[in-house]
């Protein structure tokens, strides 16, 4: 049966572009009310045009869905809690979280300074901690939560120039492993997805022929599965265009 999210409220971070945008559109098309988060401002700087998050909300509304834009910077805990409070006030709960916001500061390790390292950890790892933290108590109280963290093969196997990004993404897998266990008894399921898709993050890394095949939308069904009622927990899923593979599923007794 097709996955539906009617009555569910989702937050997708970094949803102004790329993967996050595709996931927000997908979840909304399946009935979720979606908080489209992105801290990015209007690109042309005129002040008159929509932010990327607002533009995605427009797309969702035109397609008949329900969404609100939120400009929280995920690396600022106060902004993240305000976003969750706003969603809860408007729509009653936050049931689904897709932590997808991210930045790159690639440099060979010899050239990478402490600020390059700390900044990337701040957005990906600390920011993901903040998002999970902000939704956690509500999910526990309601005995329902589905969380998916966007990680990367860089965090599992490493990539040149990505000591910061790889460390952050590996840290997110570590966070998922613990949250999956601690959430188990409250029906909170936590997973990671490690996507390969054509986004601003990968356009300089992959050849054009490969990028043409790797639309972000191709990853969305795997994310929808990991946010569904029947989601597994504690899975590291690798997803490329047109296919996805479970790299590792760890099932242990709840603690």
- Alpha-carbon gap, residue 181 to 194, rounded angstroms: 20
Instruction: Write each residue from 143 to 182 as x if it is in contact with ligand ADP (CB under 6 A), else as -, in one continuous string.
Output: ----------------------------------------
Q: Is 89 in the site for ligand ADP (CB under 6 A)?
A: no
Q: Is 95 in the site for ligand ADP (CB under 6 A)?
A: no
Task: Please work out the total of residues on this chain that contact ligand ADP, with binding judged by CB under 6 A.
Answer: 24
**Alpha-carbon dihedral angle through residues 157, 135, 223, 87, given to the nearest 10 degrees:** -140
Q: Which stretch binds ligand ADP (CB under 6 A): 105-113, 131-139, 163-171, 195-203?
A: 195-203
Nearest distance, CB of residue 41 and ligand ADP, angstroms: 9
Q: Is 75 in the site for ligand ADP (CB under 6 A)?
A: yes
Query: Closest CB to ligand ADP among 166 and 183?
Result: 166
Binding test (CB under 6 A) with ligand ADP, winner from 40, 174, 242, 254: 40
- Binding residues (CB under 6 A) for ligand ADP: these are 13-14, 16-20, 37-40, 52, 73-75, 100-103, 123, 127, 199-201
């Amino acid at each position: 049966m097709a996955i539906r999210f009617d009555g569910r409220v989702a937050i997708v971070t970094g949803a102004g572009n790329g993967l996050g945008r595709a996931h927000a559109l997908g979840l909304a098309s399946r009935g979720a009310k979606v908080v489209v988060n992105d801290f990015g401002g209007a690109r042309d700087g005129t002040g008159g045009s929509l932010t990327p998050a607002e533009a995605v909300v427009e797309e969702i509304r035109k397609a008949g869905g329900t969404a609100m834009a939120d400009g929280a910077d995920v690396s600022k805990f106060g902004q993240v809690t305000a976003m969750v409070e706003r969603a809860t006030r408007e729509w009653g709960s936050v049931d689904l979280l897709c932590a997808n916001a991210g930045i790159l500061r690639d440099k060979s390790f010899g050239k990478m300074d402490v600020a390059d390292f700390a900044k990337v950890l701040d957005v990906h790892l600390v920011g993901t901690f903040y998002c999970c933290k902000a939704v956690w108590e509500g999910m526990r109280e309601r005995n329902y939560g589905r969380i998916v963290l966007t990680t990367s093969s860089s965090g599992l196997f490493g990539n040149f120039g990505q000591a910061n990004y790889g460390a952050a993404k590996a840290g997110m897998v570590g966070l998922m492993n613990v949250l999956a266990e601690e959430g188990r008894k409250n029906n909170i399921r936590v997973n990671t997805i490690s996507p390969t898709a054509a986004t601003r993050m990968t356009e300089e890394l992959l050849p054009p022929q490969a990028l043409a095949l790797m639309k972000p939308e191709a990853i969305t069904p795997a994310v929808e599965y990991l946010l569904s009622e029947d989601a597994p927990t504690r899975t590291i899923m690798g997803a490329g265009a047109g296919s996805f593979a479970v790299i590792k599923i760890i099932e242990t007794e709840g603690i």
